[in-house]
């Protein structure tokens, strides 16, 4: 069975969406994210933007091999907001994504069932407004070698169409390269079998 080495995420932040339910307003946003610092920054920006809002509920999922996720109800009844939002991230099959729903209370209580439905719908609308793209899961290698072996290393990089992330060329050279996950084992073996070349996988 071929190894899956792609994932779906967002090309850019979504447009703001608005969903109304019994005078409550739910503003929805979806963002591409790669770490929790980015999540915090987006939440801080939205809190400044929406001073009068009572709840900033969100869910995110980050990672491709090791999945990290969180669902936050931000004061709404337990599991009535964060999990319905997270459910939509899963339903769309996305990762490296944050969805935030900002609620302005309209004076009428919606009940837990009403809240679940409203947050789920707003999250769905935000993701439907988003441009979804497919990316490859890439593996990174550090290759160390003496300058005299430069041609050997560069030949492999060219033949296998590898991406050079960074390079440091002195008497002893270091190149960081990346390749798709499904090719990673083959690429590692090629470098590992070359004389006087050292290769390591980096996280």
Beta pairing partners, 103: 26, 55
125-172: pLDDT as tens digits: 999 999 999 999 999 999 999 999 999 999 999 999 999 999 998 878
Residue ranges of the chain that CATH labels 3.30.70.240: 137-202
β-strands 172-180, 163-168 pairing = antiparallel
- C-alpha–C-alpha distance, residues 29 and 43, integer Å: 10
What would the pLDDT profile of 72-86 be if each residue is shown by its tens digit?
999 999 999 999 999
pLDDT at 169: 85
Query: CA-CA distance, 39 to 47, in Å (whole number)?
Result: 12
Distance (Å, whole) CA 21 – CA 11:
29
Which of the two residues, 107 and 57, has the higher pLDDT score? 57
Pick the CATH number of 6-135 from 3.20.20.70, 3.40.50.880, 3.30.460.80, 3.30.230.30: 3.30.230.30
- Token pair of 70, please? 């969180």
């Amino acid at each position: 069975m071929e190894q899956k080495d792609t994932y779906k995420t967002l090309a850019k932040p979504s447009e703001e969406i608005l969903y109304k339910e019994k005078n409550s307003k739910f503003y929805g946003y979806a963002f591409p994210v790669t770490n929790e610092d980015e999540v915090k920054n987006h939440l801080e920006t939205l809190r400044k933007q929406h001073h009068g809002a009572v709840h900033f509920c969100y869910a995110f999922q980050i990672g491709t091999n090791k999945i990290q996720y969180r669902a936050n109800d931000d004061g709404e009844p337990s599991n009535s907001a964060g999990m319905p939002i997270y459910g939509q991230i899963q339903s769309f099959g996305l990762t490296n994504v944050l969805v935030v729903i900002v609620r302005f209370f309209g004076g009428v209580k919606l009940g837990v069932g009403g809240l679940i439905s409203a947050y789920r719908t707003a999250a769905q609308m935000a993701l439907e407004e988003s441009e979804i793209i497919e990316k490859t899961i890439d593996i990174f290698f550090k290759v160390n070698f003496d300058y005299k072996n430069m041609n050997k290393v560069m030949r492999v990089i060219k033949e296998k169409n590898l991406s050079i992330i960074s390079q440091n060329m002195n008497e002893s050279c270091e190149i960081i390269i990346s390749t798709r996950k499904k090719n990673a084992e083959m690429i590692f073996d090629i470098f590992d079998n070359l004389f006087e070349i050292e290769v390591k996988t980096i996280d």
